[in-house]
Structure 1
Amino acid sequence: MLRFTLDRRGFLGRLLMTGGAGVVPVAAAATPHDHGGNATVGAVDHAANGFDPHEILTDWETGTVETLPDGRRLRRFEITAVDREIEIAPGLIFPAWTYNGRVPGPTLRATEGELIRIEFINSGSHVHTMHFHGIHSARMDGVPGAGEVAPGESFTYEFTARPYGCHLYHCHSQPLKRHIHKGLYGAFIVDPDPDLHPEARAVAEGRLLGHPRNAEWQEMVIVMNGFDMNFDDENEVYAANSIAFAYQDRPIPVERSRPVRIYLVNVTEFDPINSFHMHANFFDYYDHGTTLTPTLRTIDTVMLCQAQRGIIEMSFAEHEPGLYMFHAHQSEFAELGWMSLLEVS
């Protein structure tokens, strides 16, 4: 078994290039955007991983929908836990536990009031669950004794999608810190039903996937995470959507004329907080996404502990085109992979 003996700073020196002395040299082609100072050497094989962090941004898993005899919508999902290795930085392989073969797992998206039915199949090597942050019965909680699934077995979770907002799901088997850290987590978005919010119908329609008002927005999901490569309960790599520097090496394209909405989730293990900081702009923030009016207005940094999440909304309509940085404002996190760019055009 390959064992890592480097600490965080050792990883930084070995894997990243900076302007300082004694670091790994790298060709200019490896860092097409040098905003941020640090960059990985080489490229991650997204095809081998089975997922691309740029596709994860807008890859909404909406399942299949049918109408029940009582007129209610039933939305079905199928999720499988699978052990697999993923490359989180060029040449750096992490032995992950995954939902549907990716980290983070699929971004499940539903509408407030729908009946959700999830067939969970455990094809992994350990017992696993799916615990949803939402409102549901005790027997659907996805914890030991209530929805825990042994290898080779399955379980069906069923509950009503509520409350609306930006939520998450994760494994709740023991030891909890390992089941989460190994990759068993994902975003769970519940769009508001405009019919239930007549006082704010236009705002609710703007969040409802498929509605013309929603199409006016540039939406994306960002799951903040970290990776403990030597299993010492301390992360050596940090990322947005799992791949270090993915959105610095290849910035996220944004149209200046359309507003931006980010569904932000923190599932970083072994660190008490993570954060999101936007350069050269300010945003409104909806804590947990469970309100249709901002809970914080005109801020440029928000801090989240594990499992906290929310919705960020901002505009670049008055900005000049260019590269706009966003990252964790824990400097070490940014230096070790959680550094990104929006390319406004």
Structure 2
Amino acid sequence: MPAVDYGRAEEITRTLERRLVERLQSNVTATRRSVLGGIGVAGSAAFGVSRSGASSGGHDDHDGHGGHGVVGEFEDADFDPHEYLTAFNTGRDGQENVRQDVYEEDGRTVREFELAAVDVPITIAPGIEFDAWAFNGQVPGPTLRVVEGDLIRVKFSNGSRHAHTIHPHLRNLDPTMDGVPQNGPGALAPGESFTYEWIAQPAGMHFYHCHAMPLKEHIHRGLYGTIIVDPDPDRVRENPRDYVNYHGPITDEYRDELVEVARSRNHEYAENDDVNEMVMMMNGFDTNFDGDNEVYAANTQAFAYGVGSTDGNGNWEAGETKRPIQIDRNQLQRVYLSNVIEFDPINSFHTHSQFFDYYDHGTTLQPTLKNVDTIMQCQAQRGILEIDYSDHEPGLYMFHAHQSEFAELGWMSFFEVV
């Protein structure tokens, strides 16, 4: 039975992906509605329904946007959505394309990172490129991971043809460091640089992005990333009410419980090793620049966490670019999730066959929603999901946006529980 399930999942993924790419290649000016019309119902498409004809039409590529190739494996060697999931830049460890350091200064831990804005084509579906503006050449930008109370020092340089900033969704007390055109250095012109400094507060999952105008274009083009501020267990012990939406008595037992949760969220503590953590940024791409997205994804590449060829025993044969997210059912799964979609009011995350706890913005150590299987996020909203598959049978478990068109246009994925 598992081999049949894997085969069906692979067929659905390949069918949806092929039809999406064919529509984008044959008629770049098609709206997302016409793309969906060609795709049809996922289940039927995967089992013999013929492809409906696409209307022909030219593409006036006056801006030079969008390069198109053949359907196949992703070819963008500079960004792997599977590696991105767990690429936490802490000052000590992280990605090769992020220069970083950690040191003490005036009695405070400083975590220093170098980010540069560049113009670069990125792969969003097999053979489909998008002209992005990106931090350090990748979309999403590098994940910065720090500890509550640290000084975050970001040395930013603008290597793009456009003016850019970095705006942090943190509790920032200095308006000159807000990263908006009206304050501090303003929008940095091409070739300019500036060093931003922010105190890492509050604990939680946060967001950074360019705040230059027109804002929707700078975000849509890819200038965004995640800042994870790990809670400081000592601060939690001293001020537990800052981390919970709870007005009852704080007993010693309850205080100890909160400290233990904080330790499991902090990458510098051994308790964190018992949790499998990953970052997902839900995004979309308007490939014909008509104000509607034609491609949706988690971490940029459509269907990257779908199913390729496999022997059904966890051995993937489709290369490194398309496979489910393999997880150990004996580990708690913690997903740092954020929505950066442009041109749509909301995005969502839905798990099949499982419910999870949700911490809105990650600023509390108790769930803000408990035992749910679907959450919605507006743009820039983020949160932490904790999912437990310990009592599930091994196999494939789908997760996706529960806007059906988003799922059929790329935002459909699988966990492989082993």
Residue-by-residue CA offset, 1:9-43 (whole Å, 9 max, x unaligned): 4445778983332259xxxxxxxxxxxxxxx9421
Residue-by-residue CA offset, 1:98-148 (whole Å, 9 max, x unaligned): 000000000111000001110000000100010000111111110102242
Instruction: State whether structure 2 residue 235 is matched by structure 1 residue 187.
Output: no
Q: Which residue of 1 aligns with 2:103?
A: 66
Instruction: State whether structure 2 residue 157 is matched by structure 1 residue 124.
Output: no
C-alpha displacement of 1:61 = 1.3
For residues 22-37 of structure 1, what are the structure 2 equivalents within 5 Å? 22=51
User: CA distance change for structure 1 residues 91 and 225 in 2, over 3 Å: closer, same or farther?
Assistant: same
Instruction: State whether structure 2 residue 125 is matched by structure 1 residue 89.
Output: yes
RMSD: 1.8
Work out the CA distance in 1 between the residues paired with 2:207 and 2:359: 15
Q: Assess if the C-alpha contact under 8 Å between 2:29 and 2:288 holds in 1.
A: yes
SS at match of 1:235: coil
Instruction: State whether structure 2 residue 116 is matched by structure 1 residue 80.
Output: yes
Instruction: State whether structure 2 residue 58 is matched by structure 1 residue 21.
Output: no
Which of structure 1's runs of 4+ aligned residues deviate more than 3 A?
A: 9-17
Q: Assess if the C-alpha contact under 8 Å between 1:86 and 1:96 holds in 2.
A: yes
Q: Which residue of 1 aligns with 2:76?
A: 46
Residue-by-residue CA offset, 1:233-271 (whole Å, 9 max, x unaligned): 100000000000000130001001111000001000000
C-alpha displacement of 1:62 = 1.5
Mean Cα deviation higher: 219-228 or 191-200: 191-200
TM-score after normalising by structure 2:
0.75
Work out the CA distance in 2 between the residues paired with 1:41 and 1:343: 24
Q: Which residue of 1 aligns with 2:18?
A: none
- The one-letter code of the counterpart of 1:61 is N
Q: Which residue of 2 aligns with 1:239?
A: 297
Q: Assess if the C-alpha contact under 8 Å between 1:164 and 1:190 holds in 2.
A: yes
Instruction: State whether structure 2 residue 176 is matched by structure 1 residue 139.
Output: yes
Work out the CA distance in 1 between the residues paired with 2:153 and 2:269: 23
Q: Which residue of 1 aligns with 2:214?
A: 175
Work out the CA distance in 1 between the residues paired with 2:116 and 2:198: 19
Residue-by-residue CA offset, 1:127-171 (whole Å, 9 max, x unaligned): 001000011111111010224211000011011000010111000
Work out the CA distance in 1 between the residues paired with 2:128 and 2:33: 16
SS at match of 1:139: helix
5+ residue gaps, structure 2, are 1-24, 54-69, 92-100, 238-254, 308-322
SS at match of 1:152: coil
Work out the CA distance in 2 between the residues paired with 1:189 and 1:195: 18
- The one-letter code of the counterpart of 1:203 is V
SS at match of 1:246: coil
- The one-letter code of the counterpart of 2:90 is T
Please state which structure has a larger fraction of its residues in strand.
1
TM-score after normalising by structure 1:
0.91
Number of residue-to-residue matches in the alignment: 326
SS at match of 1:66: strand
5+ residue gaps, structure 1, are 25-39
Q: Radius of gyration: which is bigger?
A: 2
Q: Assess if the C-alpha contact under 8 Å between 2:124 and 2:300 holds in 1.
A: yes
Q: Which residue of 1 aligns with 2:29?
A: 5
Instruction: State whether structure 2 residue 331 is matched by structure 1 residue 254.
Output: no
Q: Which residue of 1 aligns with 2:191?
A: 152
Work out the CA distance in 2 between the residues paired with 1:45 and 1:11: 23
